[in-house]
Structure 1
């Protein structure tokens, strides 16, 4: 069976794309390999275009098969189920760089499916899948204006590495996944440990230079086996379009002077409805007219900014909307903040938890893993005034949450410094642009309010772009309409010292170094302004945790005492937890952490642990519980598992014929240890004990 193969070298390893002998009923199908990692990517295009839409109906599904990693799925059902968060995030990364590279007027369904067939311990399949999507489209009938290359860039010991191994990623201070054409960058997604903007830019340009190799081999593959592209038939009703423009243009210019989002959008809708009536546009052409109208609205907004340098809410291009901050919103929450920027508002809450409350995730690379810090983002419909019920988290919500989590994570203290599980939840109460960056700001404020010992605040801002031929305008703190009608959504988060998270999506065919440099510069200026306001609101983490948060008490025991604390089949540790309501974490080195909302419960747990770990000493006084009585004496339990014999002659100064005459099972007797023989047997006496002698144990029940 005939096949075609092209290859290059990336990070000293062969990088191969092949096609021709598998999945041949798809319009395009490739396998991309690096090392022993291999991903199958297919592209299927519908024969007919979807009528009356003005967007590309593109769907991307990336799935990781357990067999690729030599694993059987966990859980009761031994097969893969719904996509994991990782699979959703990778699907988004595949979608974002290819979507802007389809021509206007192409509205056929495009389905991209990517399956990890094999995976080694070196190379992540995610960037291979991104290249695979481009390659499958490039050799298919789809009028894709690529190809693109996609790589991961890390920096280890000051050196940039393209498509690093997992080990190199773990050692890096910067990790960026990016895609681009030969001439420009089309997508960036990544994080860093407070890396300056100029170094982020150098990493992006390094990656852009390297990914050109992947474009070259795709073009080579296309020359070998590429199919003829679909011709696009664009139906333009120029008469309606021109009439609609004349009827609405001046009114739209006035509408864009309305500062309130809802009022402005209401007026824009009214202008269209009025024009439909005046122009007597027939019902069957209303849908097409609405698509023309969207284009007119976009052009009016763009012209206003380009010519007047005034945005639709009255701001200058680099001006940030008014910011309002409130922390400690509700006393029962461990930490909370409201961050409002214009008509965008995030309510963010922090919950502190004990070990055992970590997020458990099934990683087919590592097996079962846990997350100590997690951020969840929710976007309820009421935030945009939509009359819709709330639904489970969408792909967009998962992506925004991941972006905000990545921004805050480098500043989260280690478990040794702050032994809590940390959950941040952002509920968007109002939305008019950049809710993910509002989540970053609100998350940092709420973490400070919760007393999490973060060393610095983290803020985020979204940048926009309006580009016309060789001129461009960078917009700071974009509105929802500026995101929708503009050319770029460039989100940058970080501290005063550097970037921690970055994400860029564009709607044009790529960005130059000049635009990226200007956007990063303006983003830093905006971020520093917001950080100043955040430090004014709450300059440092609170010194004390909320009284409703679990407190943690630490104590250390000898490692050999751990089995005693746990007890047979966990009997002792279960008893402590049941009687005190605390949560206990025991480290192999003997460090014990006790989590409890109530201090008294923690103290009781400590006493019970001390009871279990205490050593018996000759000459010391103890309380003993009678467990058995014989004529010759009584057996007492001084500590769990520590029995002693109280001889009948040592019970009292009076002469007793039998110990049964003086004591019974269950009695508590204060005794002094008189001897521990070579075999560890403990002998005690009650005769020399005074009323004032303080026992070393308390026999907690």
Structure 2
């Protein structure tokens, strides 16, 4: 039996339905807003998985291209591996739900979010979180929810709930907040450097809006909810805990010192001691669990009681920071950032606009010119393991850095490059994602990318005690992330926030706690920005000599087809001949890229020649491309030919065209006229006789079309280390036209002319033709 629930939030109508689709799942929900519909299913295995010390939760976000009426472009015409957007949506839902499952629950739980319909206006990501919470709440799966999620924008100074994609394009904020009844349990945001005040007010509004959807889910549980299954957990053997406590009695400092090592080699040695002593009494896993529990207790007590962390820092103290740039010789830009034992090397590569990433997802975006990729090799934590494909964690951390940096990337009109950053984690002991943001900022400036201002990031932690007792930690190390209650990452500039990602192991934070965390994160961020500034304060004025130079020219839109040619033939020939990249935009902008200036000059000259109009009375030097009985065809500009009739080849009688010119010869000619079909009539004789444009006007008053003014292309070399190529308005200019000049004026009207040396008079002109 189908049950439908309507709720209005921020002027948007959400429809939640259950009982109609996927009825064999433990819980099944569809959520719709506008014409975007997602199906969310939750399924749990009946029994726990043995010999694991974590909760096996899997959340898959499935994008179906039929949702937007597309057939996949892959060879098999099927959807392939999840897109980056799908991975990020699944991770976001995971962070909102994972803290609300009971401790010790070890049954496999799988949540699948399938986008059935997408209107290209409403983001389905938040609907997945709402549907997952509702599906879990009405199912028999143990879950301490419900939760809800709200998307918040800030458009023209106003907060907007569940903004459309078009509104997000104008928004200063893209914020998702998940809440329980009392607290905020997940925050994820991208922003254009908004103030902390704007960000906090948006979180508060989202938390309030979430309560409506939580009330709906509470009503669903009362009406159709199932009894929860019993949880089978393994209690820790008190004898093991007692044996471990006795063995390490009086060695608190030793334990704390051991856990500060990210490789946990110190703890491994101590566990080995225990195994040797109690091998016959307790299992290895029981001993390890008991040691971890003891270390966690000691670390948390030290922070709560004494305000001292395992590495000796105060709660608001940053680890030592070192920064460096330009450390690799052939790359376009590099930045090395080290904070404690965390070390990240970021490398920038600049490419032409044709190297943009093409997207085939459910959002309106089709291309992406800025990318940040994050790699976490096993040697960064002293491990040896098989290298595989990019994992979800690496995709997520790369996307977080990309989101933090994107607001300061110059627009395409100012810097027409595709920009790729790769952040290599060389050493890890917490906050590697924020370290990658800092390293990437320096790499961008080292590469000469004119970013608006530097960006830095810091990860904040939390240790909670009994009651309302808690301590906020600045710049958490790996062990504090592992044994702590929160990882609250904040990135931004001196002016404001550009990205936030927060996830918790507890049931959320109150608004006063969030305000305190954001304030302390700003204080730390300003210190880190100062360190970056010491290494490099402004972007370099010159690009690396190994980076391509991009030049921008503008042509009339109606000439785009001329440059591209039939089936792309012309643009391919330009690329092949000049070894440059040529990218043509719909507005007539053309970007030419090359590491060789002469090649770029040649490519631009060809494009200008293709788009330039011949002018009556102007002289050109061109190559004879073919001869016919009645004249010779001359290419006066790339791709543009005119006809020199046999009578116009010389200032004397010419019996045969090939007596004067042959194919491949270069000759200087003057444009006599351009007919209504655009055909060009040329004369070599006019050059020999010294004819001027004024003579043509006198000879044919009212016959010759008005001269077509040459449209000068605008060439803008983008941050070239060398002086820009000379040319009017930035465009290349030819040298002085050969020929022309003085000479006796032409006599007569439109009749036959005799040459100045007594040559034979010409007969009447034949009609122009090819």
Q: What TM-score does the superposition give when structure 1 sets the normalisation length?
A: 0.94
Q: Structure 1 residues 623 and 296, CA, compared in 2 at 3 Å: closer, same or farther?
A: same
> Quick one: distance in 2 between partners of 1:403 and 1:578?
39
Q: Counterpart of 1:528?
A: 526
> Quick one: distance in 1 between partners of 2:559 and 2:4?
62
Q: Counterpart of 1:256?
A: 256
> Quick one: distance in 1 between partners of 2:559 and 2:213?
59
> Quick one: distance in 2 between partners of 1:649 and 1:197?
77
> Quick one: distance in 1 between partners of 2:225 and 2:616?
90
Q: Counterpart of 2:2?
A: 3
> Secondary structure of 1:134's match?
helix
Q: Counterpart of 2:569?
A: 571
> Quick one: distance in 1 between partners of 2:332 and 2:268?
44
Q: Counterpart of 1:422?
A: 419
Q: Counterpart of 2:206?
A: 207
Q: Counterpart of 1:431?
A: 428
Contact between 2:667 and 2:684, CA under 8 Å: does it hold in 1?
no
Q: Counterpart of 1:457?
A: 454
Q: In the TM superposition, what is the alpha-carbon distance from 1:190 to its structure 2 partner? A: 1.0
Q: In the TM superposition, what is the alpha-carbon distance from 1:573 to its structure 2 partner? A: 2.4
> Secondary structure of 2:250's match?
helix
Q: In the TM superposition, what is the alpha-carbon distance from 1:594 to its structure 2 partner? A: 1.3
Do structure 1's residue 316 and structure 2's residue 314 form an aligned pair? Answer: yes
Output aligned runs, 1:248-397, within 5 Å: 248-257=248-257, 261=261, 265-282=264-281, 285-366=283-364, 369-397=366-394
Q: Structure 1 residues 80 and 312, CA, compared in 2 at 3 Å: closer, same or farther?
A: same
Q: In the TM superposition, what is the alpha-carbon distance from 1:503 to its structure 2 partner? A: 0.4
Q: Structure 1 residues 289 and 225, CA, compared in 2 at 3 Å: closer, same or farther?
A: farther
Instruction: Name stretches of at least 5 consecutive residues in structure 2 with no aligned partner.
Output: 691-734, 741-770
> Quick one: distance in 1 between partners of 2:171 and 2:482?
35
> Secondary structure of 1:81's match?
coil
Deviates more, 1:54-63 or 1:396-405: 54-63
> Quick one: distance in 2 between partners of 1:454 and 1:560?
34
Do structure 1's residue 246 and structure 2's residue 243 form an aligned pair? Answer: no
Q: Structure 1 residues 558 and 233, CA, compared in 2 at 3 Å: closer, same or farther?
A: closer
Do structure 1's residue 587 and structure 2's residue 588 form an aligned pair? Answer: no
Q: Structure 1 residues 574 and 221, CA, compared in 2 at 3 Å: closer, same or farther?
A: same
> Secondary structure of 1:129's match?
helix
Contact between 2:118 and 2:362, CA under 8 Å: does it hold in 1?
no
Instruction: Name stretches of at least 5 consecutive residues in structure 1 with no aligned partner.
Output: none
Do structure 1's residue 18 and structure 2's residue 17 form an aligned pair? Answer: yes
Q: In the TM superposition, what is the alpha-carbon distance from 1:614 to its structure 2 partner? A: 3.8
Q: In the TM superposition, what is the alpha-carbon distance from 1:686 to its structure 2 partner? A: 4.5
Contact between 1:671 and 1:689, CA under 8 Å: does it hold in 2?
no
Deviations 1:318-360 (A, max 9, x none): 1111111111111311111111111111110111111210001
> Quick one: distance in 2 between partners of 1:393 and 1:308?
41
Deviations 1:459-488 (A, max 9, x none): 000000001121111111110111011000
> Quick one: distance in 1 between partners of 2:674 and 2:169?
54
Q: Counterpart of 2:702?
A: none
Deviates more, 1:587-596 or 1:623-632: 623-632
Contact between 1:459 and 1:531, CA under 8 Å: does it hold in 2?
yes
- Which contiguous aligned blocks of 4+ residues in structure 1 show a shift greater than 6 angstroms? 690-693
> Quick one: distance in 2 between partners of 1:165 and 1:557?
35
Q: In the TM superposition, what is the alpha-carbon distance from 1:677 to its structure 2 partner? A: 6.7
Q: How many residues align?
A: 692
Q: Structure 1 residues 41 and 688, CA, compared in 2 at 3 Å: closer, same or farther?
A: closer
Q: In the TM superposition, what is the alpha-carbon distance from 1:397 to its structure 2 partner? A: 0.5
> Secondary structure of 2:359's match?
strand
Q: Counterpart of 1:695?
A: 738
Deviations 1:99-118 (A, max 9, x none): 11112121111111111222
Do structure 1's residue 484 and structure 2's residue 482 form an aligned pair? Answer: yes
Q: Structure 1 residues 307 and 608, CA, compared in 2 at 3 Å: closer, same or farther?
A: same
> Quick one: distance in 2 between partners of 1:615 and 1:12?
56
> Quick one: distance in 2 between partners of 1:512 and 1:435?
27
Q: Counterpart of 1:110?
A: 109
Output aligned runs, 1:464-483, within 5 Å: 464-469=461-466, 470-483=468-481
Contact between 1:672 and 1:689, CA under 8 Å: does it hold in 2?
no
Q: In the TM superposition, what is the alpha-carbon distance from 1:252 to its structure 2 partner? A: 4.3
Do structure 1's residue 60 and structure 2's residue 59 form an aligned pair? Answer: yes
Contact between 1:260 and 1:313, CA under 8 Å: does it hold in 2?
yes
Contact between 2:63 and 2:86, CA under 8 Å: does it hold in 1?
yes
Q: Structure 1 residues 497 and 635, CA, compared in 2 at 3 Å: closer, same or farther?
A: closer
> Secondary structure of 1:256's match?
helix
> Quick one: distance in 2 between partners of 1:233 and 1:617?
89
> Quick one: distance in 2 between partners of 1:684 and 1:353?
45
Q: Structure 1 residues 181 and 262, CA, compared in 2 at 3 Å: closer, same or farther?
A: closer
> Quick one: distance in 1 between partners of 2:629 and 2:42?
90
Q: Counterpart of 2:724?
A: none
> Quick one: distance in 2 between partners of 1:279 and 1:658?
110
Q: Counterpart of 2:159?
A: 160
Q: Structure 1 residues 388 and 580, CA, compared in 2 at 3 Å: closer, same or farther?
A: same
Q: Structure 1 residues 441 and 25, CA, compared in 2 at 3 Å: closer, same or farther?
A: same
> Secondary structure of 1:313's match?
coil
> Secondary structure of 1:31's match?
strand
> Secondary structure of 1:239's match?
helix
> Secondary structure of 2:140's match?
coil
Contact between 1:49 and 1:108, CA under 8 Å: does it hold in 2?
yes
> Secondary structure of 2:128's match?
helix
Q: In the TM superposition, what is the alpha-carbon distance from 1:612 to its structure 2 partner? A: 2.6
Q: Counterpart of 1:41?
A: 40
Q: Structure 1 residues 478 and 249, CA, compared in 2 at 3 Å: closer, same or farther?
A: farther
Q: Structure 1 residues 238 and 630, CA, compared in 2 at 3 Å: closer, same or farther?
A: closer
Q: Counterpart of 2:146?
A: 147
Q: Counterpart of 1:170?
A: 169
> Quick one: distance in 2 between partners of 1:677 and 1:157?
54
Is the radius of gyration larger for structure 1 or structure 2? 2
Cα RMSD (Å): 2.4
Q: In the TM superposition, what is the alpha-carbon distance from 1:495 to its structure 2 partner? A: 0.3
> Quick one: distance in 2 between partners of 1:607 and 1:696?
21
> Quick one: distance in 1 between partners of 2:682 and 2:511?
84
Contact between 1:71 and 1:364, CA under 8 Å: does it hold in 2?
no
Contact between 2:649 and 2:660, CA under 8 Å: does it hold in 1?
no
Q: In the TM superposition, what is the alpha-carbon distance from 1:124 to its structure 2 partner? A: 1.9
Deviations 1:162-194 (A, max 9, x none): 222333322321111121111111111111111
Contact between 1:103 and 1:145, CA under 8 Å: does it hold in 2?
yes
Contact between 1:141 and 1:230, CA under 8 Å: does it hold in 2?
yes
> Quick one: distance in 1 between partners of 2:384 and 2:524?
34
Contact between 1:305 and 1:311, CA under 8 Å: does it hold in 2?
yes
> Quick one: distance in 1 between partners of 2:144 and 2:640?
77
Q: What TM-score does the superposition give when structure 2 sets the normalisation length?
A: 0.85
> Secondary structure of 2:360's match?
strand
> Secondary structure of 1:347's match?
strand
Q: In the TM superposition, what is the alpha-carbon distance from 1:517 to its structure 2 partner? A: 1.3
Q: Counterpart of 2:596?
A: 598
